Amino acid sequence: MGDDLMDNIVSLCKRRGFIFANSDIYGGLSNTWDYGPFGVEFKNNVKRAWWKANVHCRDDIYGMDAAILMHPNVWDASGHIKQFHDYKSDCKTCHKLFKIADLNPVRKKSPKGKGLSNGVKDKNICPDCGGKLTEARPFNLMFKTYQGVVEDKASLLYLRPETAQGMFVNFLNVLDSCHPKLPFGLAQIGKAFRNEVTPGNFTFRTREFEQMEIEYFVHPDHADKKLEEWIEDRFNWYINLGIRKENLRKRLHGQDELAHYAAACTDIEYKFPFGWQELEGIANRTDFDLKQHGESSGKDFRYFDTESKERFYPYIIEPSGGVDRTTLAFLVDAYREEEVKKRKRVFLSLHKDLAPIKVAVLPLLTNRAEIVELARNICQDLKKKYFCVYDDTAAIGKLYRRQDEVGTPYCVTVDVESLEDRKVTVRDRDTMNQDRIGIDKLKDYLKQRLAG
Ligand SMILES: [Zn+2]
């Protein structure tokens, strides 16, 4: 079922213009994907919902948009140059590359095929061909590039592996320009790059990806409490946007899993068809980052509390989520198949804030110019408020199926009677119920049902 569901989703994404394989005509660039016309609307809606909840609806968070390229000292101070590594090994016979973490204990079938037993693969043997593997070698996950015309060490730059550092290095700028009091946070959405050995599962893990990150600065004494609050807050965000509760869970990191800067971390995981996987990590990064940048730059990164007259390094609570994997989770969770009149109906039961198209306006007949004109006018008028489309390229049944598959909450149909009674039919995506509504009442009708 899991594989079938993923296949169905990948195929729907291509068929309906959500996600295409990158550079497809040249055979594709592995694990790189492009968002098509409805994919970009959908992903933008996910980002908008995140920004609204975390920046616009709060008084204590400021938005930011830092550059992808940064001074190389940033990555030295952050520990990424020294510590942001994976270990790899390759086969001397077939030359396939393996990530060491993937060669660790695996579950495999017992020889007699009776159930499962815990088997440990030999780390020195190629699981594909049985050849010998080379010694494990560390490799840095950061993408390198050069600034300027000379490609030498002095012009070496990195594509950021996380958006977080752009916020840390601007901490003093925000203090000086906005004068916030603790606790306060910075929020940013942007691209990040990691040269992973084993990406995969469609858009779940890709080398180029987008992050939604918050860096929330708190007094060290309040860090544990704020961490718990953020875990709850972020968990509820997914539920409020329609993710089914049974498909979402929190998972506390073991001490051995923690990143070099973190004191504690809890992941929010989604039950994908390929297993439980992380959507977002909420970490207590302690004062590691501000201290590192303070010491490395020679600037004073301590916060001065005017009431207690105390000067200290704030702790940072960081809810860090992936845009692409969150978008994929919303898509998987919304995918529905049902039988209607002996035919399979596929639809995306997306939250209305996330649906790429809010309303489709469809003429029942295209051989009557007045119907087409009325439908086009209604669509044009609604466009001022919602993302709407007009479509008359097929019979009505097919048009409905198309809109169902992209998750359009409402279809407005204009027919011959509309010319007489000035009414249209509004069809609900999930229930397929139809209401006959006066054209002059249509905006109010939709306003009650579509927020924003
Ligand atoms: Zn091999």
51-66: pLDDT as tens digits? 999 999 999 999 999 9
Q: Ligand 1: distance of its center to the CA of 99 in Å? A: 13
CB 183 within 8 A of CB 201: no
Nearest to 323 by CA among 192, 165, 143: 192
Q: Is the pTM of this model over 0.75?
A: yes
User: What is the enclosing helix (H) or strand (E) of 14?
Assistant: helix 2-15
Q: Ligand 1: distance of its center to the CA of 109 in Å? A: 21
Residue with tokens 């919304």: 334
**Cis amide leading into 356 (omega within 30):** no
Cβ within 8 Å of residue 430, ≥6 positions away: 347, 349, 409
Q: Ligand 1: distance of its center to the CA of 104 in Å? A: 16
Nearest to 214 by CA among 115, 126, 294, 321: 321
What is d(CA 315, CA 329) in angstroms, rounded to the nearest whole number? 31
CB 314 within 8 A of CB 307: no
Low-confidence ranges of the chain (pLDDT < 50): 105-120
Domains of the chain are 2-64+145-332 (3.30.930.10), 86-140 (no CATH), 357-449 (3.40.50.800)
Q: Ligand 1: distance of its center to the CA of 33 in Å? A: 28
Cβ within 8 Å of residue 307, ≥6 positions away: none
Q: Ligand 1: distance of its center to the CA of 132 in Å? A: 7
Q: Ligand 1: distance of its center to the CA of 125 in Å? A: 8
pLDDT, residue 279, reads 97
Q: Ligand 1: distance of its center to the CA of 134 in Å? A: 11
Q: Ligand 1: distance of its center to the CA of 103 in Å? A: 13
Q: Ligand 1: distance of its center to the CA of 97 in Å? A: 9
Q: Ligand 1: distance of its center to the CA of 402 in Å? A: 46
Spacing of C-alpha 6 from chain mean position: 17
Q: Ligand 1: distance of its center to the CA of 122 in Å? A: 13
Helix (H, G, I), strand (E, B), or coil: what is residue 339? strand
Q: Ligand 1: distance of its center to the CA of 96 in Å? A: 6
- What is the phi-psi region of residue 172: left when phi exceeds 0, alpha when psi lies from -120 to 50, beta otherwise? alpha
Q: Ligand 1: distance of its center to the CA of 106 in Å? A: 18
Residue type, 343: R
Residue with tokens 């498909």: 247
CB 82 within 8 A of CB 93: no
pLDDT, residue 104, reads 58
Q: Ligand 1: distance of its center to the CA of 131 in Å? A: 5
Q: Ligand 1: distance of its center to the CA of 59 in Å? A: 56
Give the start-end residues of each E strand in 13-105: 19-21, 33-35, 61-64, 85-90, 97-99
Q: How many other C-beta atoms can be found within 10 angstroms of the C-beta atom of residue 419?
A: 13
What is d(CA 27, CA 422) in angstroms, rounded to the nearest whole number? 52
Cβ within 8 Å of residue 316, ≥6 positions away: 168, 215, 216, 217, 218, 284, 285, 286, 287, 288, 289, 290
Q: Ligand 1: distance of its center to the CA of 7 in Å? A: 28
CB 184 within 8 A of CB 277: no
Q: Ligand 1: distance of its center to the CA of 143 in Å? A: 27
- What is the phi-psi region of residue 384: left when phi exceeds 0, alpha when psi lies from -120 to 50, beta otherwise? alpha
CA distances from 421 to 329, 358, 378, 381, 437 (A): 43, 25, 15, 19, 10
Q: Ligand 1: distance of its center to the CA of 187 in Å? A: 45
What is d(CA 46, CA 32) in angstroms, rounded to the nearest whole number? 20
Tens-place pLDDT, residues 324-371: 999 999 999 999 999 988 999 999 999 999 999 999 999 998 888 999
Q: Ligand 1: distance of its center to the CA of 23 in Å? A: 29
Q: Ligand 1: distance of its center to the CA of 94 in Å? A: 4
- Residue 250 pairs with which residues in a beta bridge? 268
pLDDT, residue 395, reads 92
Radius of gyration for the alpha carbons in the chain, expressed in angstroms and rounded: 26
